[in-house]
Chains A and B, each alone.
Chain A
Amino acid sequence: MIWILDSINELNQVTPSSFNVYLKGGTCVQHFLRSEAQRFSKDLDLGVVFRNEILETEKSRLSNFRIIEAYINKLNKHLSKSGYTEDNGLVSARQGIPESWIICYDRFYKAKHSVPRYHGLQRKKGNWVMVEFSTLEYDPKFASQKIKLLPALYSGIEIEFPCATRSRILADKTIAMAGEKYGEREEIKDVLDVYTLLRNKEFDNDIQEACRLIKSYADRKEVELSRMLNRAKKTVSRLAEEMTDERLATDVNALLPRERRFGAIDEWKKLCEELKDRLSSFPVK
């Protein structure tokens, strides 16, 4: 997570000229959680909001990528000046032209680079951060916030960065659970994230707005909101049904802090039922 924070910090140093960028996705979810509930995320999902209107055409999609590429070049120049090298800390594009509206970059760090360069924090292992720019954002909602990811909290690092609002992040995660937009993924983490968000009472007042955002997305896709929510519930049901003792151990418990682990499949199923109930209570009108 420290390298996620490092990447956010570096992005902060290089302001894009033709778009705004904001933090979304799993890392943003962690920012909203209490420290003991946070998990590590290697993805830095960034929403890109162009100052000019975007048309949903192939020409526009490719033009967006060129703008992002120009920004990455500028960012890499800055990173080089900070001492990063081609195989250590610079941002590199994935090969080929992206098929969707998301352009994906990698940032690899060598183990030996992990000297105490960043606020005295270090890891022994080399690391990798995936930086994804999502260039087609519907209803972007964000505000500049003090980042509350674990390493920032523990080390008193203060970074301000635009983050998706609570309603936006809840809507995005629910849309992801509905199997929309985000492609292949580990759905278990979505279920745990949405469940944890909804257990946070601060989110109670954001559900209405999240539903409006999900509906707006559904309207663009010509799908009913209720159908989207049903799909999300189906994902949860499927993960409850498909869960085996082995998967519970290796894909869930092995990755959670002790107090959040599940002693048996029934406990996982109970969480899934609770989540489905919460999703059922979302206002659809």
Chain B
Amino acid sequence: MSAISGIQGKIIDALADNSWHSARDVARLASISPYSASKYLQWFVANGVVIWKAQNSKWFEYKLNKNSFFADVKRNYSGDLESLIVNEIERAVGKRYYFRGVFAKYLYDLLDWYAKISLFELDVQRNKFSKASEELQSASDYLILLPSSIDWKLVNIALKQGPVLLLGPDYNPKKSNVVDRFRVVKMEYLLLEEYRKRNNKEFLHLYRNAIAHGLDVDKFKKLHSIKKGGAKSFIF
């Protein structure tokens, strides 16, 4: 029986056999609601206490990472973490993946500043998501692997423990590009995502940088107008 009291202790007890369990399983074994089980399991995952693998894009299984209930602070990897990720992911899914988000911005030289890039967002082909989630656990000494569907609050908690790799199942071959040996989402699609997240002033700054780095403006405007439901005008 776990030395930890309350729901957290019950969940640890449920996972004590060191095999994979679904959140529903854990809920049943710990006599708690599936909602609570799922919520606590995600929190454990963000702290590196529990690891996960996907059965499919929505169905995950969990098991204890190590015999420790404390948050798992990651040690520094001696080489390029991004190269380690690429090696592992290519072993799992071949070339059907790309980086997006902040690391894609880094690859396109669109970042104004950074001290260290510690968030990697990666999309793989849907039918390879499960395999990728399993294979990437081999890098868990150096990073915390999270599903891209996880709450951003938990991503921030995980970032306190070390680098984070967010894995998603939304790879689309027509959005794929290669920059400096890295597979990365095309700049126009990256900008479209950024447009959704930013205020006008910030986006305009990014947009101008992107133009200086070869953004296909017509393509971007076309994608933008499709996304906006066929709106003709473009704000810039």
Q: Collect the chain B residues with CB atoms within 8 Å of residue A255's CB.
A: 102, 111, 113-118
Stretch in contact with the other chain, from A162-170, A181-189, A201-209, A273-281: A181-189
Q: Is B218 an interface residue (CB 8 A)?
A: no
Known: A124-B180, A186-B113. A244 touches B152 (CB 8 A): yes
Q: Collect the chain B residues with CB atoms within 8 Å of residue A41's CB.
A: 112-113
- Chain B 115-141 interface 0/1 with A at a Cβ cutoff of 8 Å (1 = within): 111110000000000000000000000
Shortest distance between the CB of B209 and any CB in chain A (Å)? 9
- Chain A 232-263 interface 0/1 with B at a Cβ cutoff of 8 Å (1 = within): 00000000001011111111011111101111
Complex partner residue of B151 from A245, A258, A261, A262, CB under 8 angstroms: A245
Is B212 touching A106 in the complex (CB atoms < 8 A)? yes
Is B197 touching A247 in the complex (CB atoms < 8 A)? yes
Known: A124-B180, A253-B118. A184 touches B102 (CB 8 A): no
Q: Is A38 an interface residue (CB 8 A)?
A: yes
Is A261 touching B112 in the complex (CB atoms < 8 A)? no
Q: Is B156 an interface residue (CB 8 A)?
A: yes
Q: Is A12 an interface residue (CB 8 A)?
A: no
Q: Is A173 an interface residue (CB 8 A)?
A: no
Interface residues on A, range: 35 or more
Is A40 touching B204 in the complex (CB atoms < 8 A)? no
Q: Collect the chain A residues with CB atoms within 8 Å of residue B113's CB.
A: 26, 39-42, 186, 189, 255
Q: How far is the CA of A126 from the CA of B106 in the complex (A)?
A: 11
Is B180 touching A258 in the complex (CB atoms < 8 A)? no
Q: How far is the CA of A200 from the CA of B157 in the complex (A)?
A: 27
Candidate in B151, B153, B213 with the most chain A CB atoms within 10 angstroms: B153
Q: Is B91 an interface residue (CB 8 A)?
A: no
Interface residues on B, range: 20 to 34
Is A186 touching B118 in the complex (CB atoms < 8 A)? no
- Chain B 133-174 interface 0/1 with A at a Cβ cutoff of 8 Å (1 = within): 000000000000000000111011101101010000000000
Q: Is A43 an interface residue (CB 8 A)?
A: yes
Write the chain A residue with the least CB distance to B181: A124
Q: Collect the chain B residues with CB atoms within 8 Å of residue A247's CB.
A: 197
Is A186 touching B205 in the complex (CB atoms < 8 A)? yes
Is B157 touching A263 in the complex (CB atoms < 8 A)? yes
Known: A246-B152, A247-B197. A40 touches B205 (CB 8 A): no
Q: How far is the CA of A174 from the CA of B111 in the complex (A)?
A: 22
Give chain B interface residues in 191-209, CB to chain A under 8 Å: 197, 199, 201-202, 204-205, 208
Q: How far is the CA of A50 from the CA of B102 in the complex (A)?
A: 40
Q: Is A127 an interface residue (CB 8 A)?
A: yes
Q: Is B34 an interface residue (CB 8 A)?
A: no
Shortest distance between the CB of B144 and any CB in chain A (Å)? 12
Q: Is B9 an interface residue (CB 8 A)?
A: no
Is A249 touching B152 in the complex (CB atoms < 8 A)? yes
Is B112 touching A258 in the complex (CB atoms < 8 A)? no
Known: A244-B152, A250-B102, A255-B117. A184 touches B112 (CB 8 A): no
Q: Collect the chain B residues with CB atoms within 8 Å of residue A253's CB.
A: 118-119, 156, 159
| Residues of B participating in the A interface, judged by any CB pair closer than 8 Å | 101-102, 107, 109, 111-119, 151-153, 155-157, 159-160, 162, 164, 180, 197, 199, 201-202, 204-205, 208, 212-213
3 tightest A-B contacts by CB?
A: A254-B119, A245-B152, A184-B205
Listed by A's residue number, 20 A-B pairs whose Cβ atoms lie within 8 Å are: A26-B113, A40-B113, A106-B212, A127-B109, A185-B112, A187-B202, A245-B151, A245-B152, A246-B152, A249-B119, A249-B156, A253-B118, A254-B101, A254-B114, A254-B119, A254-B159, A255-B114, A255-B115, A256-B118, A258-B159
